[in-house]
Every structure is written in structure tokens, then in C-alpha cells.
Structure 1
Amino acid sequence: MIKDKKITAVIVDDEPLAIEGLRLRLENIQDIQLVGEGEDGDQAIRLCQQLQPDVLFIDLRLPGLSGLEVVQGLQSDSMPLVVFVSAYSEYAIEAFELDAIDYLMKPVNLGRLQKTIERIKERLSPQQRDREKAKLLKALGVSSGLSVTELESWLDNDSAPFPSKYRSELLIKNHDNEQVFVAVKDIQWIDAAGDYMCIHTEQENYVVRITMKRLQEELDSEIFQRIHKSTIVNLHCVKSIQSLKNNESMLDLGNEIKLKVSRNYSDAVKKLVENRLS
């Protein structure tokens, strides 16, 4: 367990007196912080998903889903350590088969509870780090579009650059029918020509058979912004912006290259400014 970090706990029991009794005992243990209480199985799942507690104290017999069914229904990313609390001993074997850390009999004895907390501390020492790492990787995966496996490989290699789901190069045939690698960062703008896309760099223009949608999926949307139904621009290449009527704009890329931003894509100008000023 991380030093000075309290163990967060949730209690779920359909008997208010049982919740109160366990709460009072937990309040006498310095390392525990009670963050939520519930009365049935559905609330147990909801509390675990929302609060991500370190440990769940849960009765076996609950309205709706039983305590066992709650643990079976929890997803791995919201699964806390589980302590079953019950007035019945016959479910203990099933509870430990679900990897419960302990099985407490009601009414819970403070001394017995303290032993459970010590066991929880031992389990959380490596597990807490793993859970926090998993949460961070999941959040980073959502924001970056990368898989957790890719992110884990990056973490395991100190010298590896941060991975990207977008291409850094495109393999395109030139006018001599040779396949050449074109650096994505060198692309200034792209426009559609029927079933083909014209890719413009400062040195050369290339024609490739690909759809606008497919090409957009392979380019970083923070850099390559659609400004017209048939035009994509590299925001880093824009020199200036001229406002036109009807909420349209004109982008100047230099070398007498000017691209119109249609009113349907007027938000692209706002994104351009935010991108360049951030």
C-alpha cells in the first residue's frame, strides 16, 4: 500500500444496524476511510464502479443480486478486494473460491476485523500499484486511441518514443511509377479528385487511390483538419487566415497557395488557432 494513503472501503448490507456496527468499528481503525454505503446488490456494483474502493465489505444475502452474484458481476477494472460479512457460515467455501480476502461472521468482532485489515494491507502493497497503473493505462488508452498492450510495451522500454496510432509515413507511387515514402509531416494539404486523393508537399504532388475517410483515419486529426468536403489541410502549414462573408475563411499556405474554409467546416479555423497557440 502507498505510504500515508488510507484504504478506501464500501459497506453493502440490507440491515442498517449491521452497517452502523461495522462503520463504528472501522472508524476505530486509523488506516481505513469509508467512502460509500449501500443496501442491495445493484448499489454494490454501482458504488464499486463509481468510487473504485480498495475493499468491499458485503453481506451475502441482499435484495436482488446476492453478494456472490455481485462479485461475479463486477468487471476486473472495478474489482476491489472483497470481504464477505454474514450471519451464516455455509457460504464460506463459495466465497473463498471467488478469491475473497476474508469471511467475517456477524456481529463483527473488532479484534478479528483488525486482523482482516492487516491482511488487506499485505495484499494491497503490490496490488495497489498494479490497479493504479491499470487505471492510468486505461485512461491514456482512451485519450490516445492506443491499446493497453502498446502502452505497456512503451512503459517497459525506457528509450522507446511514445507510440502513435497514426502513420508517420505514407507509401505512394510517384509519376515514374516508383513507390516512395512520403513523410506525413511534409504534407501541406490534400484534395479529392474523383476516386483519388491529391497529396501536396512543398517539393512534389502525389496521386493515390484512397477514400477521404480512410485517409483521415490514418492522419492525426490534431494536425490534419478537414476544411471542405474535398480538402484537408496541415494546420502547421497555415501562414495566415482571412475572414470572408457567410462565415467562410481563406487560409494562406504561402507560395500563392490559398484554400477556402467552407462555412460547414468553420470550426476548423477555431481549432487552427487553438492548435497553434497551445
Structure 2
Amino acid sequence: MRVLVVDDEPLARARLAALLGDCAGVEVVGNVGDGEAALAALGELQPDALLLDINMPGIDGVALAQRLAGRARPQVIFCTAYEAHALKAFELGAADYLLKPVRLDRLREALQRAQRRFADAPREPAAYLYGRLRGEQVRIALDEVICLLADEKYVVVQHRRGELLIEDSLRQLEEAYPDQLIRLHRNCLVPPPRLLGLKTLADGRVLARLDGTDHAPEISRRNLPAVRKLLRLG
């Protein structure tokens, strides 16, 4: 099992890495100090599980787990000094909730629980994006998304039932879902199944035809080869 340790305290990361060294079949693929760095590492390191602290600067552990909720990998195992977030953690689908100082037997148990989840998952569950609508938190399944458009401080999610504003940046979303989103332009991401084809304008610009909308976002020259390759592969 490939494990990424996420904790803002270097000593805590070192102790967890040492404990993981006593767990059979576990490889520590990296350790980072905050949620932003964890998101950036997901695509490159492809961890099976995160050992995740909660109280961190920037993107905290709960916010990071929320962005990963519904995915078979990586499984989230919280490691924290506080009991207060346990209910929220399990609502988000965490595999386990370990209190510091983490005991080796509990760590092994949590890793086994995460491993069983992999075995029991017949397919990758639906991923969700979270935002607020009229003061209430709502979620949109990623397979309902038509496109994601950058708009000043927010990202506009165009989906089958309308639009939703979320606070995640396009870069964070691209790193969190590298296989489920493709970049068309610096201001636009789309799920690959939404791509129907291309339209070349007289001035040489290329637009994307998307399933579910008349909106045709422009594709930058930098991203056009990857989009063409995706369409060729079907």
C-alpha cells in the first residue's frame, strides 16, 4: 500500500513514517506539510491512502477530505490530537480516525480497513464538488459537470441542472482529478466524456463542442494537441 503522510508538524510526519516502517506491505511515497501540497502530490505519487492531520494552515484536513470524498483511492485516515472532528470525518467517508500519539496496532488496523475498502470497491465511486447555494452547502457529482470556468476568486461549475460557485481553483481541481478533467484553456476544464468535437474558426481559433451545452470554450494552442489526442482515442 502506498501511503502519503500529510501533517504540518515535521516531528509528527517523522514519527508516522517510522511507524509505517513497521507495517508490512506499506510504502511511504512522500510526506507534505499542508493540504495544498497534498493536492499537488496526488497526481504524481498516486497514493492508496493518506494519513491526514486536521489542523493545518491553508487547506485543512477536513477540507481536503471533502474534496476527495467518494473516491476509492486515496483512502483517508485522519491522525489528529482532537476527538471533536470524528463525526465529520466519518460523514466524509474516512477509513479511520486515529488519535495522537498514534499506536502501532491502531495504525495497522486502520491500514487494513483501508485495504479492505479497495477490495470491496467494484469501481471508482462518484466524485463530488462542493459549493454553497443560497447559504446551504450542496454537492454536484463530477459526472454531472459540463465544464468548469474560472471567474475571479471562484470557479463556476456548469452542470446539468444549472450553475454553482465553488472556491477551489482550477489548478487544485486539475491536480485532485487528473484522470477526470482535461484543461482546454487556462480558464477552463472539462470532463473528457463531455468532448464531442472541435470547431475551427476562420481566424484559426479552435473551439470545443461540448455535450449538454451550446457554450463552446476556446482551446489554447498549448492544450490543443492533448485534446486532439483524446478525441482520436475516443
Q: TM-score, normalised by structure 2?
A: 0.52
Does the 8 Å CA contact 1:52/1:78 hold for their aligned counterparts?
no
Aligned match for 1:55, one of 36, 49, 52: 49
Q: Of 6, 9, 16, which residue of structure 1 is paired with 2:3? A: 9
Matched, 1:130 2:119: no
Secondary structure of the 2:50 match is strand
Aligned residues of 2:69 and 2:93 also touching (Cα < 8 A): no
Q: In structure 2, do the counterparts of structure 1 residues 119 and 19 end up closer, same or farther at CA, with 3 Å as the change threshold?
A: same
Which residue identity does 1:49 align to in structure 2?
Answer: G
Aligned pair count reads 147
Q: Comparing both chains, which one has the higher relative contact order based on Cα–Cα distances under 8 Å and sequence gaps of 6 or more?
A: 2
Please list the CA deviations of residues 60-102 of structure 1 after superposition, one character each: whole Å capped at 9, or x if unmatched: 0001111001122348679511011000111111111111010
1:30 to 24, 36, 44: 24
Q: Note if contact 2:72-2:118 (Cα within 8 Å) is conserved in structure 1.
A: no
- The answer as to whether partners of 1:48 and 1:78 remain within 8 angstroms in 2 is no
Structure that is richer in helix per residue: 1
Cα distance change of structure 1 residues 148 and 107 upon mapping to structure 2, 3 Å threshold: same
Mapping 1:1-278, distance limit 5 Å: 7-74=1-68, 80-127=74-121, 130-131=123-124, 148=193
Q: Does structure 2 conserve the Cα–Cα contact (< 8 Å) formed by 1:10 and 1:56?
A: yes
After superposition, the C-alpha distances for 1:95-121 in whole angstroms (9 at most, x for unaligned) are 111110100011110011111111112
C-alpha root-mean-square deviation of aligned residues, in Å? Answer: 3.7
**Cα separation, partners in 2 of 1:125 and 1:88, compared to 1, 3 Å:** same
User: Corresponding residue for 2:145?
Assistant: none
Change in Cα spacing, 1:16 to 1:147, as seen in structure 2 (3 Å) is closer
Is the Cα contact below 8 Å between 1:8 and 1:53 reproduced in 2?
A: yes
TM normalised by structure 1 equals: 0.44
SS of 1:25's partner is: helix
For 1:89 and 1:14, the matched residues in 2 are separated by 18
In structure 2, list runs of 5 or more residues that go unmatched. 128-176, 182-190, 202-206, 208-234
Determine if contact 2:48/2:74 at 8 Å carries over to the other structure.
yes
Contact 2:72–2:117 (CA under 8 A) maintained in structure 1: no
Alignment partners' CA distance in 2, 1:77 and 1:113: 21
Tell me which amino acid in the other structure corresponds to 1:106: K
